[in-house]
Amino acid sequence: MYKHKAYIIKNRTNLHAGSGDTNYGIVDKEVQRDTISTAPVIHASSLKGALRYHFESLQASSNASAQDGEAKPFTVEAVFGSEEKQQQGMVRFSDARLLFLPLRSDKKPFYHVTSLACLEQFVAFLQTMNIAVDLPLPDSHPESYVVGAEGPVVVENVVCAGRDVPVDAIKKLFGIEHLAIFNDEDFNEALTSLPVIARNSLEDGKSVNLWYEEVVPRESLFYTVLSYYDNFNEQGADRRGKVDKTYYTKAFRRFEEQLLTDLVQIGANESIGYGVCTFSSLGGEA
């Protein structure tokens, strides 16, 4: 049996979780995308790998420290598993899906942009995982709009009217100040037109390899669900009969406390500051 917890991931710097693909045009290195919606995504394997690397690095720097007579290293094995011991980790990871994309505006530095369909998919996915979120959604509207602004506002290349709609719950839940809700066509166009950055390799001051890399811009918001093992009977034993409820419970608590505190690097190009992310909790299984 697994219980589920939802988290918001905000990338504080540009992020490139690479797909390994090229479009055989301008972009040499593309980001990972959802197979159906083609929206940017962080695949579960990439997310797990980034978090494992982060916690293994913490473990390496704190091996000498112990708490309550137990060494900290057990947290990594318990959460992520161990190939050497052929042990499965207690946490299952899911894809991190894009929910808000920051886009430039002529009135504000940027608006956090989403679509009604994207918000509906977010709520439906959490309901599937039995996670309750109090999030009243705005009514459907055929045109793209910004919330609360007077007069037309240009967000990227989309002319948006201002609408006074009740979205305080959305702003509060995600920590958003300026919100735009695009129609499906405009939002899909925005998702396929991510920033592309030129990268260069130099040898003796000369360019030897110029390439172009797609990034998810800083201040984007993703959501993901982590499912943690909770298959214990009243005596605290799991299905294999091993008494380890305290072991797992303490490991997950340490993991989550650190996750919600640290800056975590996800994706490529750590050396140039890409992929610095923060995690916040949306709540657990109802």
Render pLDDT for 154-205 as a digit per residue (tens, 0 to 9).
999 999 999 999 899 999 999 999 999 999 999 999 999 999 988 887 666 6
Q: Where are the beta strands (DSSP E) in 38-186?
A: 41-42, 66-67, 70-71, 81-82, 87-88, 91-93, 96-104, 110-115, 145-147, 153-155, 158-163, 179-182
Please answer whether residues 38 and 23 qualify as being in contact, where contact means their C-beta atoms are separated by less than 8 angstroms. Answer: no
What integer pLDDT is reported at residue 235 of this predicted model? 44
- Angle, nearest 10°, between helix axes 116-128 and 184-191? 80
How far is 237 from 145, CA to CA, in rounded Å? 54
Residues in the chain: 286
Q: Which residue has the higher pLDDT, 193 or 66?
A: 193
Q: Is 259 helix (H, G, I), strand (E, B) or coil?
A: helix
Mean pLDDT, the chain, whole residue set: 86
Please answer whether residues 154 and 105 qualify as being in contact, where contact means their C-beta atoms are separated by less than 8 angstroms. Answer: yes
The predicted model scores a pTM of 0.89
How confident is residue 150, by pLDDT bands cut at 50, 70 and 90? Answer: confident
Structure confidence by residue, pLDDT tens digits, 9-64:
999 999 999 876 655 557 778 999 999 988 999 999 999 999 999 998 887 766 54
- State the CB neighbour count (10 A cutoff) for residue 85: 8
Q: Quick one: average pLDDT of 226-241?
A: 61
